[in-house]
Amino acid sequence: MNKKHLLYFNKLLITWYNKIMNKKRENLNNNYFKNINLPDLIDKASQTEEFNLKLINTDRENKLIKKIENTIKKIKDGKFGYCEYCYNKINIKRLKIQPIAKLCIDCKKISENLIN
């Protein structure tokens, strides 16, 4: 991968990261987790569900943020674009679709087969 590609992915990842962080900040400002303990019992079930959904979303977001951070670090360390399993280069088309990919497509398929 040449320097131009690295700069491209670095910019892409930082833009993505900032977008998620801005959304998180917005959610905080809009009291994303407000109205949790309303006394109305009828609303309670739906609110618990809503709260759980928000927690799941927050958890997913935090994991994604961590993955983006790690990938930005990999660019700095010169490890970006290499499969973490077989150390071969990951296809650039794959990285354009999934910049945080850790595995090449072959290893990804193998790992999916192992899980299924």
Interface residues with Zn ion (CB under 5 A)? 83, 85-86, 104, 107
For the bound state, the minimum distance from the C-beta of residue 88 to Zn ion, rounded and expressed in Å, comes to 5
In the complex with Zn ion, which residue's Cβ is closer, 16 or 85? 85
Nearer CB in complex with Zn ion: 101/107 = 107
Q: Residue 27: beta bridge partners?
A: none
Q: How far is the CB of 35 from Zn ion (least distance, A)?
A: 47
Minimal CA–CA distance to 17: which of 74, 70, 68, 73? 68
CA angle 27/32/36 to nearest 5° reads 175
Q: Which is nearer to Zn ion, 24 or 67 (CB)?
A: 67
How many Cα atoms sit within 13 Å of 73 on the Cβ side? 7
